[in-house]
Amino acid sequence: MLTMYGIPNCDTVKKAKKKLDSMGLEYEFFNFKKETPTNDMLARWEKFWGELPANKRGPTFRKIKEQYEGASAAGQKKLLLENLSAIKRPILEKGKKVVAIGFDEDAYSKL
Protein backbone atom coordinates (compact mmCIF):
# COMPACT_ATOMS: atom_id res chain seq x y z
CA MET A 1 0.00 0.00 0.00
CA LEU A 2 1.24 3.46 -0.90
CA THR A 3 1.08 6.42 1.46
CA MET A 4 1.07 9.95 0.13
CA TYR A 5 2.10 12.75 2.49
CA GLY A 6 1.04 16.28 1.72
CA ILE A 7 -1.57 19.01 1.85
CA PRO A 8 -4.85 18.42 0.00
CA ASN A 9 -5.12 21.87 -1.60
CA CYS A 10 -1.53 21.83 -2.96
CA ASP A 11 -1.54 21.84 -6.78
CA THR A 12 1.39 19.41 -6.95
CA VAL A 13 -0.37 17.00 -4.59
CA LYS A 14 -3.52 17.27 -6.71
CA LYS A 15 -1.51 16.32 -9.83
CA ALA A 16 0.06 13.38 -8.01
CA LYS A 17 -3.31 12.14 -6.75
CA LYS A 18 -4.78 12.42 -10.24
CA LYS A 19 -1.89 10.39 -11.66
CA LEU A 20 -2.23 7.62 -9.05
CA ASP A 21 -6.00 7.54 -9.54
CA SER A 22 -5.61 7.27 -13.33
CA MET A 23 -3.26 4.31 -12.81
CA GLY A 24 -5.75 2.62 -10.48
CA LEU A 25 -3.26 2.61 -7.59
CA GLU A 26 -4.64 2.70 -4.07
CA TYR A 27 -3.04 4.92 -1.48
CA GLU A 28 -3.62 6.38 1.94
CA PHE A 29 -3.34 10.13 2.32
CA PHE A 30 -1.46 11.60 5.28
CA ASN A 31 -2.71 15.17 5.61
CA PHE A 32 -0.11 17.57 7.05
CA LYS A 33 -2.99 19.86 8.06
CA LYS A 34 -4.39 17.18 10.38
CA GLU A 35 -1.40 15.02 11.30
CA THR A 36 2.22 15.77 12.16
CA PRO A 37 5.01 13.64 10.73
CA THR A 38 7.36 11.95 13.18
CA ASN A 39 11.11 12.37 13.49
CA ASP A 40 11.46 8.85 12.02
CA MET A 41 9.54 9.96 8.93
CA LEU A 42 11.75 13.02 8.54
CA ALA A 43 14.83 10.80 8.87
CA ARG A 44 13.59 8.47 6.08
CA TRP A 45 12.79 11.41 3.83
CA GLU A 46 16.16 13.04 4.55
CA LYS A 47 18.00 9.80 3.74
CA PHE A 48 16.15 9.47 0.40
CA TRP A 49 16.45 13.15 -0.58
CA GLY A 50 20.01 13.68 0.67
CA GLU A 51 18.89 16.54 2.89
CA LEU A 52 15.78 17.51 4.79
CA PRO A 53 12.93 17.81 2.27
CA ALA A 54 12.34 21.52 2.66
CA ASN A 55 10.20 23.16 -0.03
CA LYS A 56 12.67 25.98 -0.58
CA ARG A 57 10.57 27.67 -3.26
CA GLY A 58 7.39 27.83 -1.19
CA PRO A 59 6.07 30.87 0.67
CA THR A 60 6.15 29.15 4.07
CA PHE A 61 9.82 28.29 3.71
CA ARG A 62 10.67 31.81 2.59
CA LYS A 63 9.21 33.09 5.88
CA ILE A 64 11.54 30.85 7.93
CA LYS A 65 14.53 30.76 5.54
CA GLU A 66 16.99 32.76 7.64
CA GLN A 67 16.07 30.93 10.82
CA TYR A 68 16.25 27.55 9.02
CA GLU A 69 19.63 28.24 7.43
CA GLY A 70 21.10 29.36 10.76
CA ALA A 71 19.74 26.40 12.71
CA SER A 72 21.42 23.15 13.67
CA ALA A 73 20.17 19.92 12.06
CA ALA A 74 17.89 19.35 15.05
CA GLY A 75 16.69 22.95 14.83
CA GLN A 76 15.91 22.55 11.13
CA LYS A 77 13.83 19.43 11.84
CA LYS A 78 11.99 21.28 14.58
CA LEU A 79 11.25 24.20 12.24
CA LEU A 80 9.87 21.87 9.56
CA LEU A 81 7.66 20.09 12.11
CA GLU A 82 6.37 23.47 13.31
CA ASN A 83 5.83 24.70 9.72
CA LEU A 84 4.51 21.65 7.88
CA SER A 85 3.76 23.62 4.72
CA ALA A 86 7.53 24.07 4.37
CA ILE A 87 7.98 20.33 3.71
CA LYS A 88 8.38 19.39 0.04
CA ARG A 89 5.37 17.49 -1.21
CA PRO A 90 4.01 15.12 -2.04
CA ILE A 91 6.13 12.42 -0.46
CA LEU A 92 5.22 8.93 -1.59
CA GLU A 93 6.15 5.81 0.36
CA LYS A 94 5.53 2.12 -0.14
CA GLY A 95 5.61 0.57 3.29
CA LYS A 96 8.32 2.60 5.00
CA LYS A 97 10.38 3.01 1.84
CA VAL A 98 10.35 6.38 0.10
CA VAL A 99 9.66 6.05 -3.62
CA ALA A 100 9.27 9.72 -4.60
CA ILE A 101 9.52 13.25 -3.24
CA GLY A 102 7.77 15.89 -5.26
CA PHE A 103 5.83 14.97 -8.38
CA ASP A 104 7.68 13.50 -11.33
CA GLU A 105 5.34 11.96 -13.87
CA ASP A 106 8.02 9.56 -15.13
CA ALA A 107 8.77 8.27 -11.63
CA TYR A 108 5.08 7.82 -10.90
CA SER A 109 4.58 5.98 -14.20
CA LYS A 110 7.10 3.35 -13.05
CA LEU A 111 5.14 2.47 -9.91
In angstroms, the CA 107 to CA 105 distance is 6
Domain that holds residue 11: 2-109
Number of domains in the chain: 1
Mean pLDDT for the chain? Answer: 95
**CATH code at 17?**
3.40.30.10
- End-to-end CA separation in angstroms for the chain: 11
Phi/psi at 91 (nearest 5 deg)? -115, 130
pLDDT in tens, 58-87: 999 999 999 999 999 999 999 999 999 999
Residues belonging to the active site: 10
Q: What is the reported pLDDT for 107? A: 87
Beta strands 27-31; 97-101: pairing state:
unpaired
In angstroms, the CA 29 to CA 105 distance is 18
